[in-house]
Structure 1
Amino acid sequence: MTVCAYCGRENDAGAQFCMDCGKPMGKASGVKAAAVGAVPGTRIVAPPVVAPTRPEALTCHFCGGRASGLLPFCPHCGRRLTAPGSGPSCGRCGSPVTAGTKFCPTCGAPLVEGAPGRRSSPAAGGSPATAPPPIVLVLLDDSGAPVQRFERRTPDTTIGRQDGDIRFPEDVFLSPLHAKISWEHDALLVRDLGSRNGTWVFLEAPHRLADGDLLLIGSQVIRFRRLGYPGPHPPDADATRRMGSLIPSADIASLTQLRSDGSARDVIQLSPGRDVAIGREHGDWTFPYDPSMSARHAMIRSEDADFVVVDANSRNGVALAARGDIELRHDSRVLVGDKLLRVEIAT
């Protein structure tokens, strides 16, 4: 049995993630647990036995491994087992879907396995895994010049301020355990580990926005939300017509500028057939006070009922906050805390 250094839970030998809190179970966990047990007068009290309220075993939606139905995290991949949204979801609207469904029951979008940018782990039982190629994470400065190189030859790499394989203790924007980069079924994936400020992947191609997506444009954190089509106003009792602003078409989505505490500041509405340009000096939505934003930075392009974000050849690019796993490629850039890392994959 291995004791988790974060919550004290006893896990099966060989478990990679704690089945109770979801934190990685590494060598550091065993060392910390041993240190706790070595303190005079300290004893570990076994948790009380609780009558089961769910089935004893269930299958993880992500890795296909078997796990106890009484625990919130999968001991094989570390993902939540029972929380809302823990299963497969639609890449367009984010609604939960049943495994094997071909179309989203909420928005009707086709559910294609391995959609660009969002990837779910295939079920267990595939072909035998081969040794993944080594990767190098290159730390870049503000000008994009390399500062430090981290060569990794293991399948998993964790990054954090206090814990992890790569640590940046001076970065106050980095959570103690922030993100994980891992090889899964011949794909290099990055996943945020519940950090405070998120893990950001810079876009290399146009990205079709899904409800709840967070974008980093310059220094602005912008949230995309779908509003749906509004219904008709009911007639007033006295037959008086309502006055209102003349608009070209219905507003079906919005972009919201977020403050550091998560509250909303400015909002711009999105409607079909209307493209929105964002920049420091030019565009429909300008941020003249943001020096990290290009004069014309990004475009939100309307495509039927969807919206696509496109980088307008900006200096600093457009980043997407990781929700679930995002596939990385050679030269992909990842922002964790205040650290910008470039991924190099050996060929």
Structure 2
Amino acid sequence: MTACRSCGETLTAALWLASPSFDGPASSTPGPMETAERSASTRSATPGPTAAGDPGRLATPGPSTPGERTVFRGFGEQTAFREAPQIEAPDRILARPAPLHTLGPVDGVDLPSVPGNCPRCGRSHPARLHFCPSCGMRLGSDAGRATRRPPAGLLAPGSVKLVLLRGLGASGTAFPLREEHTEAGRTVGALRFPSDDTLSPLAATFSYRGGRLFVRDEGGPSGVFIRLLLPEVLREGAWFSIGDKLLRFLDRVPPPQPSHPAPRLLGSARPAGTLLRIQLVHLGGIPGRIFSRPAPVRIGRALGEILLTDDPFISARHCELDHDPSGAILRDLGSSNGSFLRLPPNGERELYPGDTVRLGRNILRVE
């Protein structure tokens, strides 16, 4: 366990030294440490056997009690103490917990009543926990949502800007959203990326409504992608992006049915359970390799059922797709650069400060 189940704080290994107390009240019955101390004092007052070959040196006595050692603090002075318990260090920490001030209050949040998986790192956790014991992510039905919604009327034209994190421009460039509606694309609108050949002339529109900010996909071929903060349900045909890779969830293949007497076509045996089919899409929309893997399917650069080793922006263990009755569930596994889900054509999504949007080759954060 690397994070507290109650507050999400990172745990550090520590050792506690058990030593006798000399300031407390006297006890009629000596404790085990007091007995060992008296035994050591008695041995120091009574000459013991000499070591062979050296009549001036006392032979070192063995430990009086299992788990204790005797050390010499000076000539003829011995002290017995009990060794501290050995604590195993955690194997690894997948992700650093978010600062406590971003986790928000615990009161009023419905805690998970059944065991599940952490939406950030994917580790399983028991029921009725406030925070993931592995990475510190807040758990519950409102986790990640309740603390991110700004007060009504807070967001207004000019109060929000988009900051370029990575793309065809200088990182850190800010684009203030001063108007009620701000269009973004390659050649149209106030927010333009003329050197991005993957963007349509008009790709997206950012709008203020009722003190809230929304982004709308304008139907371009490359679409608008939103970084996942919580697991999302994917319908068949949904697009998602990790690193610089574009992938598509095609469909599910149900488990094999019981065999029937009729002859079957010869072929390799398939794994039991539901298969998820995921396709890699190349630049220009060219279909690539199709992966058929039993759920859950982990995707990463070094670990998982699907390995994409040639993309430096993909983490070793990046994201996971699991079976769901309505399609598949996509969750990020604490990756450095995040997992992005494409909005449906002409779809709209509300944005909050801290959200990340991808337009073509450009990744922008809402601030």
Q: Normalising TM by the smaller chain, what interval?
A: 0.5 to 0.7
Report sequence identity in percent.
Answer: 33
Change (3 A) 1:169 1:303: closer
Deviation at 1:131?
A: 8.8
Match of 1:320 in 2: 341
Deviation at 1:146?
A: 5.1
Runs of 4+ in 1 over 6 A off after TM superposition: 233-236
Match of 1:286 in 2: 307
1:266 to 289, 292, 296: 289
2:161 to 136, 140, 143: 136
Change (3 A) 1:243 1:290: same
Match of 2:359 in 1: 336
Is residue 132–residue 155 contact of structure 1 (8 Å, CA) maintained in 2?
no
For 2:276 and 2:235, locate their aligned partners in 1 and report how far apart those are by CA, in whole Å: 10
Change (3 A) 1:314 1:132: closer
Q: Does 1:168 align with 2:193?
A: yes
- How big is the alpha-carbon RMSD for the aligned residues of Structure 1 and Structure 2? 3.3
Change (3 A) 1:285 1:162: same
Is residue 251–residue 269 contact of structure 1 (8 Å, CA) maintained in 2?
no
* Secondary structure class of the residue paired with 2:269: coil
**1:300 aligned partner, one-letter code:** L
* Secondary structure class of the residue paired with 2:221: coil
For 2:208 and 2:166, locate their aligned partners in 1 and report how far apart those are by CA, in whole Å: 26
**2:288 aligned partner, one-letter code:** R
Change (3 A) 1:219 1:173: same
For 2:326 and 2:162, locate their aligned partners in 1 and report how far apart those are by CA, in whole Å: 38
Match of 2:67 in 1: none
Deviation at 1:232?
A: 5.7
**1:257 aligned partner, one-letter code:** L
- Once the two structures are overlaid, the 10-residue window that deviates more, 181-190 or 160-169, is 181-190
Matches within 5 A, 1:54-133: 132-133=155-156
**2:354 aligned partner, one-letter code:** D
* Secondary structure class of the residue paired with 2:172: strand
Structure 1 length normalisation: TM-score? Answer: 0.54
**2:318 aligned partner, one-letter code:** H
Structure 2 length normalisation: TM-score? Answer: 0.51
**2:229 aligned partner, one-letter code:** E
Q: What does the per-residue CA deviation read over 1:227-274, in whole Å, with 9 as the maximum and x for residues that have no partner? A: 4647869968xx434433333335454111112232322222254xx3
Q: Does 1:276 align with 2:297?
A: yes
Match of 2:242 in 1: 217
- The higher radius of gyration belongs to 2
1:183 to 192, 195, 208: 208
Change (3 A) 1:227 1:158: same
**1:295 aligned partner, one-letter code:** A
Change (3 A) 1:249 1:185: farther
For 2:276 and 2:298, locate their aligned partners in 1 and report how far apart those are by CA, in whole Å: 15
For 1:343 and 1:130, locate their aligned partners in 2 and report how far apart those are by CA, in whole Å: 17
Change (3 A) 1:131 1:305: closer
Match of 1:192 in 2: 217
**1:226 aligned partner, one-letter code:** D
Is residue 135–residue 343 contact of structure 1 (8 Å, CA) maintained in 2?
yes
**1:197 aligned partner, one-letter code:** S
For 1:243 and 1:234, locate their aligned partners in 2 and report how far apart those are by CA, in whole Å: 13
Match of 2:3 in 1: none
**2:281 aligned partner, one-letter code:** L
* Secondary structure class of the residue paired with 1:147: coil
For 1:288 and 1:229, locate their aligned partners in 2 and report how far apart those are by CA, in whole Å: 29
Unaligned runs of 5+ in 2: 1-142, 144-151
Match of 2:279 in 1: 256
For 2:179 and 2:223, locate their aligned partners in 1 and report how far apart those are by CA, in whole Å: 23
Q: Does 1:243 align with 2:266?
A: yes
Is residue 253–residue 277 contact of structure 2 (8 Å, CA) maintained in 1?
no
